[in-house]
Chain A
Amino acid sequence: MGKYRTTIGLEVHVQLKTHSKMFCGCGTDFGAPPNTHVCPVCLGYPGALPVMNRDAIRLTVISGLMLGCRINSYSKFDRKNYFYPDMPKNYQITQYDLPLCLGGSVEIEVGGRVRTIGITRIHLEEDVAKNLHYATWSGIDFNRAGVPLMEIVSEPDLESPEEASAYLLALRQILTYAGVSDCNLEEGNMRCDANCSLRPADRVELGTKVEIKNINTVKGVQGALEYEEIRQAEALDGGRTIVQETRRWDADLGITSSMRTKEDAHDYRYFPEPDLMPVALPAEQVAAWKAALPELPQARRERFVAQYGLPEYDARVLAAERAVADYFEAALRLIPGSPKAVSNWVMTDVLRVLSERTIDIGRFPIPADALAELIGLAEKRVINSNTARDVFALMLDEGGRAGDIVKTRGLAQVSDTAAIEKVVEQAIAENAKSAEDFRQGKAAALKFLVGQVMRLSKGKANPQMATEMLVARLGKG
């Protein structure tokens, strides 16, 4: 891409985590049988009127505050008019000229380069229904119609498909941190449209913009934009002009294809929604929400390094997801002296299980306090690290507290000098060759002998004490 510069802006639609829809009391659960979360309002029946979901306003403002936006103290809703079968009223209630949030930014890092991507605005609107197409007929599922949808419009600050996908991931991280959305791409919680243009590297003014719709995955963003970069570059190479148009991304074929050109563009005939009153947000309300904001992922990462002395790598892994970071800190609170041990357990053991079982931490069977108890036992050398991993496996499959498991199964490490000495003697006696090797200076033989002590003690001997006794008994090889 040396010849051309790419300019990308994203419009990201995020489904908000509210109990009910934007303008009626219907539920928002995903996966219910078609047309079971519907009422006269979200079906657009004659006479039905919308009523504002205040929680959707709150979540949008919180998102805006997390992204550093200015919050409009006076905001309103508008009707966007167009006909489509997935639109119950054939107009969408959205925000045209007075959105809830303006400005703001997101920091991304691609290839070691940190960049700040501007956010133009965030507005709130209602989602449409879902059209289902069969061989000879089509159906419409209105369960999704009216679900609160927040649209985050970025500035055209992104310069590559990689940056676009990094932006999307950063946004998702912040929004899940804020608890405003699950940002679950499989459930369509997060969808995006991209605007993309190319211009010769030596030109300042932007090239003709193409809008790409129907991008529903992070992979799709990158794929669609990579395809579009090549398509537009080839057109420019061939001396052709880029047509200002809307294109649809086909994830299966991996291509974009023209939906409509500028000439066919809708005239949406926006006008203020007379059924809803304007939204006035008192400064005190916004200030109260701001005061209660959760820490941003970046700030938490930095705090983990500063406060707990964790390596940068650990902090990044632990802070990536708010729920994981919360879990880590909940465990650490019970054994505040061992941040690195807790970090190791969470990063290796807990995250491994989550990925093996493809579950999120909310469904992880060992609560943070139970993990802390287990780590505490290992840290106090009540059990050794191998035993600790066995106990972890037992807790994972059967539940229970580490202390109880260690007690009932007699897994406590033996630290009684006399008892260990007896086993050490036995190990030396049974492995005279290795003992001799160690005396001759073969350090590896010590490890073998310690292993034998552990075997003979059924894993319960304190391995450190065993090592020390073996060394004392055999002399420093």
Chain B
Amino acid sequence: MSELHTLGVHEVLERLNRRECSSEDIVRDVLAAIGRIDGTIDGYLSVAAEDALAQARAADEARRQGAGGRLLGVPIAVKDVLNVRGQPCGCASRILQGYVSPYDATAVARLRAEGAVFLGRTNMDEFAMGSSTENSAFKVTRNPWNRNCVPGGSSGGSAAVVAADEAIAALGSDTGGSVRQPASFCGCVGLKPSYGRISRYGLTAFASSLDQIGPMTKSVRDAALLLQVMAGHDPHDSSCLPDPVPDYAAALVPDLKGMRLGLPREYFVGGSDPEVERAIRAAVEVCRGLGAEIVDVALPHTPYVIATYYVIATAEASANLARFDGVRYGTRAAGAEDPIDLYKRTREQGFGPEVKRRIILGTYVLSSGYHDAYYLRAQKVRTLIRRDFEQAFQSCDAIVAPVAPTPAYPIGEKGGDPLQMYLGDIFTVPVNLAGICGMSVPCGFTTRQMPVGLQILGPALGEGSILRVGHAYEQAGGWSHRRPPL
């Protein structure tokens, strides 16, 4: 049995460049790993085996012909929320069953242009709504470190397949922590770029003002490379920033000399699992040892982030998900009497309970008479939260914090209590509300051998800083190389 599937993007590229293996070898190896492992992990919703092999052979042929491509022949798994031409894009929902993407998301098109191979679709919470991947309409993905535990969410499938070496790297999407939190729960790297850094074109919208695509990888260096390829202006997305994309690889230096890292005091007030807090504090000491100065920062509006997030995100979602009506694509309920009846039946049958809950909540906060008290007020608080971070970044280059208050918890534990689930997002949602960037890097394990992630936050377009911190930490004492016992 070959071990090609255990490699990261850079290692795969080194082997390919040295002609030690072909892209087809890699894809076959990954497919074999999926065949062996995924029955117990359930990270994939579908695997495009034949298609992926064909893409790999095309990449090998291109390489023989001397073609370049920064990801030529590297297989990547894609969260079921991103459009890949010719593949399903079901958002783990019954309502999109049968839908096949007629187009590539911009991020996908850019990876494809560099030679990436698209392997299959990873499981997720339906329409990215959830923090445990238990809200998938099709299957419950299991944490590779403990199959009785959730992988986190909503990009739980992508995190699990990367951690279980069923993929070289994967894409996720992050609206309130959906890349970082599952990365933390599964022990891989997950990067949420600044709002507007990567085009959202082709990312099925949950909350348009918060959504970002992010890489999920086995190392910070891999995340930097995927970001490098995907980032940059896109005429198809007016929220995508025109700023030039810096050379992220150049930011990856092995020390933190001259850097100031902020510790938000509101994030260390005893609400977190002590083992999580201990791992974070240990990581902070490693950073200090690398030359960083640790400073205290304040994020005073932290108590309001969950309420603010769930008002804004659900309001936008209530409109974004209105298009799933059975008229043009996806599932159409039978037996409808008229268009309104068609909508009711299709959406009743097509959406799961969490999606319905959020659509109803979002409809409520926008409705006449409540709009000002909820939606408008939440927008004002959002501005205050953004200012908290602007203020904090006056005195530091990056912020270090926990990703989530707890490690991965048992499947079913929080399923019955949405509010408990929402509270787990306290350290991740403010990043989306503020539009800044954040990354989860493995920083240790609990006594029960569950991974813990260190969250590194940077100002808008500060990806270079957080990649530097993550990389230096990973090199000095990180835990990115640990693999689950499968």
Contacts and interface: CB of A to CB of B under 8 A. Distances in A.
Interface of A: 40, 43-52, 79, 81, 83-85, 88-91, 140, 267, 269-271, 274-277
B83 A79 contact: no
Given A47-B89, A48-B201, A49-B201, A274 B325 contact: no
Nearest to B369: A267
Contacts of B203: 47
A269 B323 contact: no
Q: In terms of DSSP, what is the predominant structure of the interface of chain B? A: loop
A84 B339 contact: yes
B368 A275 contact: no
Contact of A81 (B99, B207, B236, B366): B366
Interface string B240-269: 000000000000000000000000000000
Nearest to B96: A46
A89 B323 contact: yes
Contacts of B200: 47, 49
Interface in B339-383: 339-340, 343, 363, 366-368, 371, 375
B319 A79 contact: yes
Interface residues of B, number: 43
B96 A269 contact: no
Nearest to B321: A90
Nearest to B103: A40
Given A49-B201, A275-B205, 19 more contacts: A44-B323, A46-B99, A46-B204, A46-B324, A47-B82, A47-B105, A47-B201, A48-B202, A51-B238, A83-B322, A83-B339, A83-B340, A269-B363, A269-B367, A271-B371, A271-B375, A274-B207, A275-B237, A275-B239
Contacts of A44: 323, 328
Given A47-B205, A49-B236, A274-B239, A89 B328 contact: no
Interface in B53-104: 82-83, 89, 91, 96, 99, 102-103
B238 A46 contact: no
26 contacts: A44-B323, A44-B328, A46-B83, A46-B91, A46-B205, A47-B83, A47-B200, A47-B201, A47-B204, A49-B201, A49-B236, A51-B238, A81-B318, A81-B319, A88-B328, A90-B319, A267-B368, A269-B318, A271-B315, A271-B316, A271-B366, A271-B375, A274-B209, A275-B208, A276-B238, A277-B239
A97 to B, nearest CB: 12
A44 B330 CA distance: 12
Contacts of A52: 238
A249 to B, nearest CB: 22
A88 B375 contact: no
B235 interface: yes
Count chain B CB atoms within 10 A of each CB in A43, A48, A85, A269 and give the residue with the most.
A269
B327 interface: yes
Nearest to A89: B323
A45 B329 contact: yes
B177 to A, nearest CB: 19
Contacts of B363: 269
B359 to A, nearest CB: 11
Contacts of A84: 339
Given A40-B103, A51-B238, A85-B327, A274 B316 contact: yes
A40 B367 contact: no
A276 B204 CA distance: 16
A274 B209 CA distance: 6
A269 B320 CA distance: 13
Contacts of A47: 82-83, 89, 105, 200-205
A37 B102 CA distance: 15
